[in-house]
Chains A and B, each alone.
Chain A
Amino acid sequence: MSKITFDAVNVGDLLPPLTLPPINRTTLALFAGASGDHNAVHIDIDYVRRAGMPDVFAHGMLSMAYLGRLLTQWVDQRQLRQFGVRFVGITHLGHQVTCTGKVVEKFEADGEKRVKLEVQTTNQYGEPRIVGDAVIAF
């Protein structure tokens, strides 16, 4: 990983985006097992239909994990200080998630030079599904 310096980062800079393959049922089965979130709303269509919903849908934390990949393909994980998101819409089967990030602030805190990023995922229709921010130290 090429090392990015604080001085080389400017407010408004965009992170290299990350686009994932469309979500399918295998994606959700694997993520259920690996993440430990076994809630049937993500894996069992019979269960969700009995609960009055048309189909299973993606774990919010799958998209947050994709955003985590966006961050750690840009900087080393040891530089992360904060990472938070709001889940604003459901990611459904067939959705293709794209993760994007933008530098919105440069500042100093706790004796460190830091940058704040706004991050989000969108589906293939450009609809935001999760929005959040991250703080990175340099």
Chain B
Amino acid sequence: MIDKQHIGKKLPVFKVTTDAWRLRFFAKAIGETNPIYFDEAAARDAGHPTLPLPLTFLFSLEFEQPNTSWRDELGMNVARILHGEQSFTYHRMAYAGDVLQFESHIADIYEKKGGALTFIVRETRVTDHRGESIADLRSVIVQR
């Protein structure tokens, strides 16, 4: 059981940059065959300035959060969590080398099955160095 008083809690804001090698590693890990995701020349030929961050990669960057004490503050047990839902709303493309800022908050906490499962909703706004919106992320984490 996780205290609903944490609804609205803001997580520490952080900035992160993705290197091209990391995007090539991610492409390998998911068996990507489209060269725009691992070959800079192919990306440029397709009209991109360099390697694009693929559709789900912003979620990976949320793990770069340098301060993860919020999970302990909520009382989450990482051995007993499952990912319930994930969504992305896209505003503009992000690329290797972009400095991205992540601002997250706990949007909701609710229970199901008589309190056996707790659902924690985290919403994140990602912006670039000009403050332009890149994407909005919504994660539902289930604590068993």
Total count of chain A residues near the partner, CB < 8 A: 41
Q: Report which of B78, B82, B88 forms a contact with A87, defined as CB distance below 8 A.
A: B82
Q: Name the contact of A36 in the complex, choosing from B31, B60, B81, B87 (C-beta under 8 A).
A: B60
B31 touches A84 (CB 8 A): no
Interface size grouping (class) on chain B: 35 or more
CB neighbours (8 Å) of A17 from chain B are: none
A69 near B59: Cβ-Cβ < 8 Å: no
Taking a contact as CB atoms closer than 8 A, the residue among A33, A38, A81 that contacts B89 in the complex is A81
Contacts of A96 in B (CB 8 A): none
B14 within 8 A of A: no
19 additional contacts (CB under 8 A) given A51-B80, A84-B86: A21-B31, A34-B25, A34-B60, A35-B63, A41-B78, A59-B83, A61-B56, A62-B30, A64-B59, A65-B30, A65-B54, A73-B34, A83-B55, A83-B87, A84-B87, A84-B88, A87-B84, A87-B85, A87-B86
B99 CB-CB contact with A under 8 Å: no
A-contact 0/1 string along B18-31, CB 8 Å cutoff: 00001001101111
Selected from B28, B52, B81, B83, the residue in CB contact (under 8 A) with A34 is B28
- Which B residues are in CB contact (< 8 Å) with A68? 30, 54-56
**What 6 pairs across the A-B complex have the smallest Cβ distances?**
A84-B87, A36-B63, A68-B55, A34-B29, A30-B29, A60-B83
Pick 30 A–B contacts, CB within 8 A, sort by A: A31-B30, A34-B26, A34-B28, A34-B30, A35-B59, A35-B63, A36-B60, A36-B61, A41-B78, A51-B80, A64-B59, A65-B30, A68-B54, A68-B56, A69-B34, A72-B34, A73-B34, A77-B93, A80-B55, A81-B90, A82-B90, A83-B55, A83-B88, A84-B85, A84-B88, A87-B84, A87-B85, A87-B86, A90-B82, A132-B87
